[in-house]
Structure formats: C-alpha cells, structure tokens
Amino acid sequence: MTASVLGFLAGEALRDLVRAGWIAISSVLLTTLSLLTIGGFWVFSTNLGDAVARWREQLRVIVYLKEEPAPAAVGALMDRIRSEGGVARIEFVSKAEALRRLKRELGAQAAVAGMLPNPLPASLEVTPRASASTPDATGALIQRLASMPEVSEVQGGTEWVERLAQFQRLLQLIGLGIGGVLVLAAVLTVTTATTLVLYARRDELDIMRLVGVPEAVIRLPLLLQGIGQGLLGAILALLGLIVGYRLARPGVEPLVSLTLGLPHMTFLSGTAIVTLLGSGALLGAVGGWLAKGRS
Amino acid sequence: MIALHRVSKVFRVGPVKVPALSDVSFKIGKGEFAVLCGPSGAGKTTLLRLLYRDELPTEGRIDVADYNLTSLPRSEVPALRRAMGIVFQDAKLLPGRTVYENIAFVLRVLGTPRPEITPRAFGALKAVGLSARAQAYPAQLSQGEAQRAALARAIVKEPMLLLADEPTGNLDEGIASEIFDLLKDIWSRGTTVLLATHQAALAERLNRRTLVFQGGRLVKDDG
Ligand SMILES: Nc1ncnc2c1ncn2[C@@H]1O[C@H](COP(=O)(O)OP(=O)(O)O)[C@@H](O)[C@H]1O
Ligand SMILES: [Mg+2]
C-alpha cells in the first residue's frame, strides 16, 4: 500500500469522524470519562503504593528489654537475634539514649522529664530484611523475639501496612470495575458511531468493493476513525487528570504527608501515561472493528 | 476471456426456489464485443453478477481471464474486480463529489500514484466526451451525461473486460445509441465488452455477436 493511499484513507477517516457528528462526540466523551475514572483511581493507588513501599521499608520491630544489659553483653545479644534470620539491621538503644531521644522530641518540656528517674527501658530496634517483611515472616520473627528470656515486650508489625496494601488493591479493583463498565460503554458507542459512518458511506463502500479495493483497505479508515475517537478521548482524559492533579495537589499533599507519611505526591508514571493513551486507541480500534456493515 | 460450462443459478427466497439461469454454456474470446439480449427476467443481470463474483453459480463452472470463479477464494475477488469495469442502469455516482472527483476517487482508493491521477481521470473523461463537465456535480448532469461519467469511472483503471448491465435503460433512444457507440469506441481500443440489454432493436444496430436469453436459458447465439 503506498503512502498516498494511506494519506487519502487517513483523510477519509477524519471526514468520517466529522460525519458521525454527535455520536462521535459522545464516544469521545465516554472514552474520556472511562479513562479519567481509571486514571484517577490509578493516581490514588500509585500514591498509596508508594506509601506502602515506604512503610514496608521503614518497618521496625522494637524489642524492649527487661533490664539494661552490660555494655559487653550487648554484642552477644545482638548476635543471638541476628541468628534468628530475616534481620537486616539492629540498633541498641540504651536507657540513656532513649531518654535523650524523648527529650529531643519533647523540646521545651524536657526540663520536666529531667527531674524524674529515667523510666524508659533499654531496647533493640530490629529492621527486618525486605524479603522478610511480609506479615507472616514478621509475625514469626516477633514471636521468636518475644520468647527470649531478656525480652519484656516486642512492638511492631506489618498489620496496618498490610491493611493499607489491601486498601490499595481494593481501590485498584473498584477503579478497574467502574472503569471497565465505562470502557464497555465507550466501545459500544464507538461501534455505534462507526456503524453510522458505514451507513453514511455505504455508497462509497459499494463502489470501492465494485472496483476491487481489498477489504482491508476498505476497513482501514473505519478502524482509523475508531482509533481517532479513542485516542482523542484518552488525550482529553489525560489533560483532565493533569489539570485535576494540579488543582488538587496543594490541598491534598499536606494531608497525604500527614496521614501516609509521603513527603510529596506523584502523578502517573510515563509507562502509565502511555498505557492510558494506548488503551484509548485500542478501545477505539475494537469499537471501530466491531461495526458491521452490509457486506 | 469468459467461459461458462453448464451454469445454473437458483435463488432461494425462503422455501421458494427461483431458477434464474439454467444450463448455460458459452465462450467469449478476448477482444470480443458480445450483447446479452432478452426480456426482463431472462437472467441477464444474474449472469453478469456471476461474472463479477457477486454471486456463485448453483451448478457449473465459470472462468474469467485466469480466474476460476467457482473456486476463487474471497480474498481474490478484489483482484478479479480490478481487472473489470462495471456499469449499471443507474450511474451510481457519489452525489457529494464532482464528476472529476468521482473518477479520481477510484484511482485513489486503488493506490494509483498521485501524479498519475489527474491525467488519467481527464483521459477517461475525454474518452467519453465529458471533459467540459468535469467540475459538475452528479445532480447537475443529464442522465446521458451521468452514464458517460459512470463509463469513464469504469474504464479509468483500464480494465480488460467491461460489463454493462442495461446502461441505456433510463435513456431516450437517441442518447442510448450514443452510449452504445461509446461502448464500441471502448471496445475498439482493445477492451472486451459484454453488454446486457432488453432493447433488442437498438442492440441489433450494433451489429455484434448477440446471445439471446429467455427464462434463464440461452436460446440463440449467433457467434
Ligand atoms: N436476488 C434474487 N433473489 C431471488 N430471485 C432473483 C434474484 N435476482 C434475480 N432473481 C430472479 O431471477 C430471474 C432473472 O432475473 P434477472 O437476472 O434480474 O433478469 P434480467 O436482468 O434479465 O431482467 C428473475 O425471475 C428474477 O426474479
Ligand atoms: Mg436486469
């Protein structure tokens, strides 16, 4: 197929889009709506995912000790904990260090604390290895640590991080569910718009078949105008997401950083953007292809 | 060019079988001009539709050029059609395009290189004597002019075979014989022509081989 036919067919596709009129406009808008929904949920879930990853990374198990061990015994204790496996790092926090940290946090009120005898226990801060920071592995580690005779209490766990991760998955599912229904509606509307084009162009298509234009070449403009509708919808959705993100960010970011501990929000990744645009084009192509003519 | 061997065509309309062609055999050589004659309902249109593979025969074998139509896969039909030009009683011009654009449209969708399109389209218009009406829209044409435009569109891709199904059915006798003369011009430049018409008197004046059909049967062939 020569470039001149392709150019001509692309021009035909554009004419078709105009001819399909308001149906084409509604399929573009439905595509926008569906991808906007999916994209919106995607942005949420991306940020939640970031938070989950961050929290997993920062996960600490705090092992409170019954008594402050002698400085010489600390190394041996840490070795025993390390031998439990799944441990990336251990930091010893003495009673005095714990008090220093508390004073630093309390700031002006530190004077009050200074008057009391040090009530804080010594502890070990255990960072599980990334591979071991699943809920099960961490739970097992906590149980083993708690059973050691020197240990009074073990704090920490992955529970709420996991709940966050589950919430993220739920959000993804809801987004895909609503988005999926809308995508289906968008595909059907593209199909309707394309069928309309087929009827508007049936004389031309008859002539094309009569003079021996291959069926693929006859279908190509239909496919192209479908892709055009889908892609246009996807671009509008992307613009909508960018504008929405820009508008919402100043208000939402402090909230997010407060609740999720994320220093800043992120927008969709390049891959996600390409996927979104590609989905629009694919949706339009499917819609265009599904349209049935008389032949 | 064309060979039919014991061809029959039966249309099914619900439970009813309508025989349109019965046991038809004939051959038309390359470069011939043949007239299919017969009253309305004789099977002329059906025969032409079989030749451009719009329908398959119920029985028998049809060959057109190098194509065995009975076993021709669907994907090969466009190639067969590119080798033939087809005109009907109604010109079937696209109303939104000028005469020139109607003809250029065919070349464009067939992938003709751009620089060739204008000269070839005007060449075809000249051949049918319609150069002056190139920029007219179909609604502005007389029926005779519209049929000339349809002929220009059929021959612009330089087919080896031209099928004409009652091209003069709508026209006055004078204009009809002009169209017949035009078909003879096209034939004299090397195209095989097959003309279907019920206008027996006019066809006789063409003085070409005539195949007469009646009730789906070939009843007379003076070739
Ligand atoms: N698509 C069809 N379905 C049913 N019957 C048909 C169809 N096409 C043609 N026929 C019948 O076949 C016979 C021949 O028709 P046709 O080929 O159109 O004749 P002609 O062109 O000589 O007038 C007629 O009886 C007609 O009614
Ligand atoms: Mg007929």
Domain co-membership, B12 together with B49? yes
Residue B41 sits in a domain whose CATH number is 3.40.50.300
Do B2 and B22 belong to one domain? yes
Asked if residue B113 and residue B123 are part of one domain, the reply reads yes
| Structural domains of chain A, ranges and CATH numbers in brackets | 3-55+161-290 (no CATH), 60-157 (3.30.70.3040)
One-letter amino acid for residue B129 of the chain: G
**What global pTM score does this model have?**
0.71
The residue contributing the CA closest to ligand 1 atom 7 is B11
Strand-pair category, B217-221 with B192-197:
unpaired
> Is the beta carbon of B20 within 6 A of some atom in ligand 1?
yes
Range B49-58, long-range pairs (CB < 8 A, 24+ positions): B50/B7, B50/B9, B50/B21, B51/B2, B51/B84, B51/B163, B51/B194, B52/A210, B52/B80, B52/B81, B52/B84, B52/B86, B52/B163, B53/B77, B53/B80, B53/B81, B55/B9, B57/B7, B57/B8, B57/B9, B57/B21, B58/B8, B58/B9, B58/B10
Q: Do B25 and B63 contact (CB within 8 A), yes or no?
A: no
Q: Is B139 touching ligand 1 by the criterion CB < 6 Å?
A: no
Q: Which residues of B touch A6 (CB under 8 A)?
A: none
Whether B71 and B164 share a structural domain: yes
In a domain? residue B190 = yes
Answer yes or no: do B17 and B44 share one domain: yes
CB-CB neighbors (< 8 A) of B81 in chain A: 209-212
Structural domain including B173 reads: 1-83+159-223
Residue B144 Cβ inside 6 Å of ligand 1? The answer reads: no
Are B10 and B120 part of one and the same domain? no
Judge whether A178 and A99 are in contact, CB under 8 Å: no
Task: With beta carbons less than 8 A apart as the criterion, state whether B203 and B29 touch.
Answer: no
**Cβ-Cβ contacts under 8 Å, B113 against chain A:** 2, 4
- Give dist(CA B207, CA B3) in Å, integer: 22
Which amino acid makes up residue B28?
I
Q: Are residues B56 and B76 in the same domain?
A: yes
Q: Evaluate: CB of B39 within 6 angstroms of ligand 1.
A: no
B81 token code pair? 């059609």
Same domain? B139 vs B176 = no
B105 in contact with A, Cβ within 8 Å: yes
Cα dihedral B89/B196/B153/A15 (nearest 10): 50
Burial of B93 (0-12, 13-18, 19+ CB in 10 A): buried
pLDDT in tens, chain B (223 residues): 999 999 999 999 999 999 999 999 999 999 999 999 999 999 999 999 999 999 999 999 999 999 999 999 999 999 999 999 999 999 999 999 999 999 999 999 998 998 999 999 999 999 999 999 999 999 999 999 999 999 999 999 999 999 999 999 888 888 998 999 999 999 999 999 999 999 988 888 889 999 999 999 999 988 7
| Residue B163, H or E segment | strand B161-165
| Chain-chain contact of B105 with A215 (C-beta, under 8 angstroms) | no
> How much is the ipTM here?
0.91
Is A4–B110 a contact, with Cβ atoms under 8 angstroms apart? no
Domain count, chain B: 2
- Within a domain: B197: yes
Of the three residues B114, B134, B158, the one that is the final residue of a domain is B158
Distances (CA, A) of B215 to A25, A79, A270, B20: 53, 106, 71, 7
User: Is residue B13 located within the same domain as residue B78?
Assistant: yes
B118 and B211 fall within a common domain: no
CA–CA gap between residue A19 and residue A28 (Å, rounded): 14
Asked if B141 and B163 sit in the same domain, the reply is: no
Q: Does some domain include residue B211?
A: yes
Nearest CA in chain A to B114: A4
